């Protein structure tokens, strides 16, 4: 079964390279993939949310999700699993960006993107949450397009990011509810 998944992973990457890659899309997807470098776009968005009282708690949850995704994906799972990058294993696959020097599984860019985007989808109006999820998906796809991840790396990164966001959101809402109970006693601010 694992061999079938590897063959499918490799086939999808070669198909993307042979069919989708072109002079129009390449600069777009290399730019999109750089937005996810070190979680940059998500750090900027999360910090921006901290500046407004109404969104401060969302910003805190987004940053917590981002940190958790980094720890789980980049520090624990990548080193535990040790999957070699596809451009090192798949003959004929060209990497379009500087070659990362860590392991492939799961995609840290994708995990971080979905961790924060899911918090935004759960916490903000859909007009902000849906574009965040679309950006997360584009960042995930960009990792395939530039040849640095297998599809299963990206898929698992997205799943892990969403799970992290759901846990952080649930815990965050409990903390918010409890802090509101402490601050307000019988409808009066203490």
pLDDT of 173 reads: 87
Greater model confidence, 1 or 71: 71
Greater model confidence, 39 or 186: 39
pLDDT of 154 reads: 98
pLDDT band at 180 (very low <50, low <70, confident <90, very high): low
Q: Taking the alpha carbons of 107, 19, 96, 43 in that order, is the dihedral positive or negative?
A: negative
Cα separation of 23 and 14, whole Å? 17
Where residue 155 falls (left for φ over 0; alpha for ψ -120 to 50; beta otherwise) is: alpha
pLDDT of 148 reads: 96
Cα separation of 70 and 48, whole Å? 20
Whether residue 170 has pLDDT greater than 50: yes
pLDDT of 141 reads: 98
Q: Global pTM?
A: 0.90
Whether residue 158 has pLDDT greater than 80: yes
Averaged pLDDT for residues 77-95: 93
What are the phi and psi torsion angles at 150 (to 5°)?
Answer: -80, 155
Whether residue 175 has pLDDT greater than 80: yes
pLDDT of 186 reads: 47
Cα separation of 74 and 27, whole Å? 26
CB 96 within 8 A of CB 78: no
Tokens 């086939």 locate to 11
All domains of the chain in start order, with CATH: 2-189 (1.10.606.20)
pLDDT for 94-143, tens place per residue?
999 999 989 999 999 999 999 999 999 999 999 999 999 999 999 999 99
Whether residue 155 has pLDDT greater than 60: yes
Cα separation of 154 and 167, whole Å? 20
pLDDT band at 190 (very low <50, low <70, confident <90, very high): very low
pLDDT for 19-71, tens place per residue?
999 999 999 999 999 999 999 999 999 999 999 999 999 999 999 999 999 99
Give the closest residue to 73 by CA, choosing from 103, 95, 50. Answer: 103
pLDDT of 177 reads: 67
108: number of CA atoms within 13 Å, CB side?
A: 24
């Amino acid at each position: 079964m694992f061999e079938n998944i590897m063959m499918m992973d490799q086939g999808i990457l070669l198909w993307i390279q042979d069919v989708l890659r072109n002079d129009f899309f390449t600069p777009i997807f290399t730019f999109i993939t750089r937005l996810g470098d070190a979680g940059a776009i998500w750090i900027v968005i999360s910090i921006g949310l901290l500046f407004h009282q109404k969104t401060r708690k969302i910003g805190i949850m987004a940053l917590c999700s981002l940190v958790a995704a980094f720890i789980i994906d980049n520090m624990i799972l990548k080193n535990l699993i040790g999957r070699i990058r596809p451009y090192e294993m798949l003959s004929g696959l060209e990497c379009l960006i500087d070659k990362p020097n860590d392991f492939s599984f799961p995609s840290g860019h994708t995990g971080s993107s979905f961790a924060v985007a899911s918090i935004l989808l759960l916490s903000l109006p859909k007009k902000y949450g849906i574009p965040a999820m679309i950006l997360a998906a584009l960042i995930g796809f960009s990792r395939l397009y530039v040849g640095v991840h297998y599809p299963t790396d990206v898929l698992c990164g997205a799943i892990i990011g969403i799970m992290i966001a759901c846990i952080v959101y649930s815990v965050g809402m409990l903390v918010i509810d409890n802090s509101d109970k402490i601050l307000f006693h019988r409808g009066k601010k203490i």
